[in-house]
C-alpha cells in the first residue's frame, strides 16, 4: 500500500466533517409556511450580501455557509431557471427541478473535489394554494430533503428546529409566523435569548396573492412593526409570578367552655383558611389556576 494512502470511505468522512464544521460556524436560517405564502428569515447584518434571494417567478433561495460558494450556486440556479423557462414554458420551472440541479452539482463537487462546498441551501416555491407550497433542503453532499411546513438549517439547526416545532402550526398569519421564526432564532441553549434588531435581520416572503413575481423583501419599517408585534405577543403569554398563599391569622382567644359546645353566633371561625381560598400557592381567593399558553 503506498505511503499516505487514505481509503475512499475515510476521505468522504473527513470531507463531511470539514463541511459540517464550516456550516456550524454560521447562524441558522429558517423557512416556514404561513397562510399567505412562505416566510424566510436569516440573521444578517449586511445590507448588500444577501442570504435570501429570488430565483424565479414563484421560487426563492436561502443559504448558509461560505458566501462566495453559495453565491456561485445562486447565480447558476438563476441561469438554469431562465434557460428552462425560455426553452419550454415558465410554468415548467419548478423548485423541485432547481433543487435537483443544485443536488447534482453539490454531489459532484463533494465527490470529485478535494474541498467540498461549505453550504446548505433551501429552495422554496409558493403555490396558488397552501397545498402547492414546496420547500426543499439541499446539503453539502448533494442530499435533497422535502421539508413540509418548516425547516431550520445551518448553525445550531437542531436546537432552532426544536423551538420552531413547538411554535409552528399550519395556517398561521404572517405576524404569528414571524414571531415563531424570531423566537426560534433568538433562543439559546440555556433558556436565555439574544435580541435581534431590525438591522440584524434579513427577511423575505413569497406572497401567493401577488401575480407573476411573488418575491418581496420586508424592509426596515415593516420589519420593526413585526418585531414589536412578536415581542408584544410574547409578553402576553409570559406567566406572571403569583404571590404566596396566606391564610387568616389563627384564633388566640380561650377555648369555649361547656364540653365542646358549638360556638355562639358572631364568634371567630376555627383556625384555617377562609372559604374559597387555596393552599396551592395561588394567593388568597384561589388565584388563577389556569396554566399559561404554551410558547
- Please report which helix (H) or strand (E) contains residue 60, including its range: strand 59-65
Report the 10 Å Cβ neighbour count for 293.
Answer: 10
* pLDDT surpassing 80 at residue 114: yes
The pLDDT of 226-251, averaged and rounded, is 66
- Model confidence at 183, pLDDT cuts 50, 70, 90, reads very high
Of 6-20, 93-107, 112-126, 280-294, the one with minimum mean pLDDT is: 280-294
Q: Which grid coordinates are listed for 244?
A: 404566596
What does the H/E/C string look like for 117-131?
A: CCEEEEEEECCCCHH
Closest Cα partner for 78 from 215, 218, 217? 215
Burial 59-82 (b: 16+ CB within 10 A, else e): bbbbbbbbeebbbebbeebbebbe
Predicted local distance difference test score (pLDDT) of residue 2: 57
Taking CA 141 as the corner, what is the angle to CA 138 and CA 143, rounded to the nearest 5 degrees? 45
Rounded to the nearest integer, the mean pLDDT of the chain is 83
* pLDDT surpassing 80 at residue 138: yes
Distance CA 35, CA 133 (A): 11
Alpha helices in the chain (DSSP H): 8-24, 67-87, 95-112, 157-167, 174-186, 220-237
- Tell the burial category of 233 from Cβ atoms under 10 Å away from its Cβ (0-12, 13-18, 19+): middle
The pLDDT of 225-242, averaged and rounded, is 75
Residue 31, SS3 per DSSP: strand
Distance CA 55, CA 73 (A): 11
What dihedral do alpha carbons 283, 285, 290, 293 form, nearest 10°?
-60
Q: Provide the whole-model pTM.
A: 0.77
Q: In whole angstroms, how far apart are CA 117 and each of 73, 133, 137, 154, 161?
A: 10, 28, 15, 13, 23
Distance CA 12, CA 116 (A): 10
Amino acid at each position: 500500500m503506498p505511503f499516505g494512502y487514505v481509503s475512499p470511505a475515510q476521505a468522504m468522512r473527513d470531507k463531511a466533517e470539514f463541511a459540517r464544521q464550516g456550516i456550524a460556524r454560521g447562524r441558522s436560517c429558517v423557512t416556514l409556511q404561513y397562510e399567505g405564502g412562505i416566510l424566510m428569515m436569516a440573521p444578517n447584518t449586511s445590507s448588500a450580501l444577501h442570504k435570501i434571494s429570488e430565483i424565479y417567478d414563484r421560487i426563492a433561495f436561502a443559504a448558509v455557509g461560505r458566501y462566495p460558494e453559495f453565491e456561485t450556486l445562486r447565480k447558476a440556479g438563476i441561469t438554469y431557471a431562465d434557460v428552462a423557462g425560455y426553452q419550454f414554458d415558465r410554468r415548467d420551472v419548478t423548485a423541485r427541478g432547481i433543487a435537483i440541479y443544485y443536488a447534482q452539482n453539490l454531489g459532484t463537487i463533494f465527490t470529485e473535489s478535494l474541498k467540498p462546498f461549505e453550504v446548505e441551501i433551501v429552495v422554496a416555491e409558493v403555490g396558488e394554494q397552501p397545498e402547492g407550497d414546496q420547500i426543499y433542503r439541499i446539503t453539502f453532499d448533494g442530499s435533497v430533503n422535502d421539508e413540509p411546513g418548516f425547516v431550520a438549517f445551518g448553525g445550531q439547526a437542531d436546537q432552532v428546529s426544536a423551538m420552531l416545532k413547538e411554535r409552528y402550526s399550519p395556517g398561521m398569519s404572517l405576524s404569528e409566523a414571524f414571531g415563531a421564526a424570531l423566537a426560534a432564532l433568538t433562543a439559546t441553549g440555556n433558556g436565555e435569548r439574544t435580541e435581534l434588531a431590525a438591522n440584524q435581520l434579513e427577511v423575505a416572503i413569497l406572497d401567493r396573492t401577488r401575480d407573476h413575481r411573488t418575491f418581496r423583501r420586508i424592509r426596515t419599517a415593516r420589519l420593526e412593526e413585526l418585531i414589536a408585534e412578536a415581542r408584544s405577543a410574547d409578553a402576553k403569554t409570559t406567566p406572571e409570578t403569583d404571590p404566596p398563599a396566606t391564610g387568616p391569622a389563627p384564633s388566640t382567644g380561650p377555648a369555649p367552655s361547656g364540653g365542646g359546645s358549638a360556638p355562639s353566633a358572631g364568634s371567630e371561625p376555627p383556625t384555617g383558611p377562609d372559604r374559597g381560598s387555596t393552599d396551592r400557592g395561588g394567593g388568597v381567593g384561589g388565584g388563577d389556576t389556569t396554566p399559561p399558553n404554551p410558547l
